[in-house]
Structure 1
Amino acid sequence: MSELTPEMSGEWRFDPAHTRIGFSTRHAMVTKVRGAFNDFDGVIRADVENPSNSSVKLTIKVASIDTRNAQRDEHLRTNDFFDAPNYPEITFRSTHIDQVEDRNYIVNGDLTIRGITKPVSIPIEFVGVERDPAGNLRAGFEGSRRIDRQSFGVKWNTALDSGGVLVSDRILLEFEVSAVKVENDAG
């Protein structure tokens, strides 16, 4: 099923085993470093007939950051970057969802990093819906959004001899979501 139908309205939970909440940024001005958060909880409340009544909530555990380099991950957890002991979660709460085309949405909401909340608009594409082998109704969504990490208090950097900096201020947030519909067991 590639099109939304009224039966798809309801609650959907992110499937952590098949979802990637990631990021990428320039390192030393010449290469990209990619990472992801491995511990998160996300819920979509979908209203197919009126998408503006839909909502998204996402909570990410900062300590779960994974860039495939343990030393870098530990540094990212410190006060130089995310300050995980004092700000253990990154949150996103949608405030409004706009459908811009049949399969494309803008999810507007409040992103909180290090206790600083800023409005963010994230373009999201609805990939499709299928029943998986276990009988679960599963929906796919993908999107990305560039943010300025400095505006969220993530300011650490080191100057390079060339005049550039070690870590870019521009971070690309990446969302590849597989959400499973919560079936109502009442009956």
Structure 2
Amino acid sequence: MSTTTITPALNGSYTIDPAHSRIGFVARHAMVTKVRGSFNSFDGAVSVDAEKPQESSVELTIKVDSIDTRNADRDGHLRTNDFLDVENHPTITFRSTEAAFDGETLELTGDLTVRGVTQKVTVPFSFEGAATDPFGNQRLGFEGQHAISRKDYGITWNAALETGGVLVSDKIVLEFEISLVKNQNV
């Protein structure tokens, strides 16, 4: 079965499949290019209610020390107090407080906590479809992105460029490519 509509048959509790999901980010570097990275360790629980989308919910926990920009020196710097301060803030969390679905876009509003600072954000997700995999697992796919200001989370480190501007953009685009697996009823 494959579908591109969330129907009551898809209601239930799901777990984020980290092996088939990506949580990433994009930042401007030196004002001329983009640096992409991701977090390799995260977990989450999702509850889907097609009849009452507002009853749907998401809880996500990201392990900050799993940051990966394909450059060990940069990753090390991002783990320090200049940026994510992994020693004092080992996780980034998102807990939804509202959900709305119009048939194509799922808007999740909730509390995003980075470095101990919590901000309310709304992330629009497109529903990419549902399918039963070869192992009998019901899967749902969602993709979304949302821009945040790192200053809103107390992340202010930067370096001025002699040509003007700064080394690292304030705007960070969060990217989500999520595969959910329906939990089996026990």
TM-score range, shorter chain: over 0.9
Aligned position for 1:9: 11
Gaps of 5+ in 2: none
* In structure 1, distance between residues paired with 2:90 and 2:8: 37
- Identical aligned pairs, as a percentage? 57
Q: Deviations over 1:30-83 (max 9, x none)?
A: 000000000001111111110000101100000000000011000000000000
Report the equivalent of 1:26: 28
- Answering whether residue 68 of structure 2 is matched by residue 56 of structure 1, we say no
Aligned residue identity for 1:114: R
| Paired residue secondary structure (2:99) | strand
Normalised by the length of structure 2, the TM-score is 0.97
Number of matched residues?
184
**Hey, what's the Cα distance between the residues in 1 that align with 2:51 and 2:18?**
27
- Partner residue, 1:182: 183
C-alpha separation in 1, matches of 2:5 and 2:118:
34
Query: In structure 2, how many angstroms separate the alpha carbons of the residues matched to 1:152 and 1:7?
Result: 39
CA positional deviation for 1:148: 0.1
CA distance in 1, matches of 2:34, 2:155: 18
Please give the residue correspondences for 1:111-122 in structure 2 after superposition, counting only pairs within 5 Å. Answer: 111-122=112-123
2:176 partner letter: F
Partner of 1:149: 150
- Residue 92 of structure 2: aligned partner: 90
Deviation at 1:98, TM superposition (A): 1.3
Secondary structure of residue in 1 paired with 2:9: helix
* C-alpha distance after superposition, 1:134-185 (max 9, x if no partner): 1100100000000000110111100001111000000000000000000102
Quote the offset at 1:23 in angstroms.
0.2
Of 32, 35, 38 in structure 1, the residue corresponding to residue 37 of structure 2 is 35
SS of equivalent residue, structure 1 residue 168: strand
Distance apart, 1:6 and its partner CA: 1.0
Q: CA deviation at 1:105?
A: 1.6
Instruction: Determine the structure 1 residue equivalent to 2:80.
Output: 78
* Aligned residue type for 1:127: E
> CA–CA distance in 2 between the matches of 1:4 and 1:150?
36
> Shift in Å at residue 112 of structure 1?
0.3
Q: Counterpart of 1:163?
A: 164
**Deviations, residues 83-125 of structure 1 (Å, cap 9, x unaligned):** 00000000000000012x3121210000000000000000111
8 Å contact kept, 2:6–2:103: no
Shift of 1:29: 0.2
Gaps of 5+ in 1: none
Alpha-carbon distance between aligned partners in 2 of 1:13 and 1:155, rounded to the nearest angstrom:
34
Residue of structure 1 in register with 2:105 after alignment: 104
Q: SS of the counterpart of 2:169?
A: coil
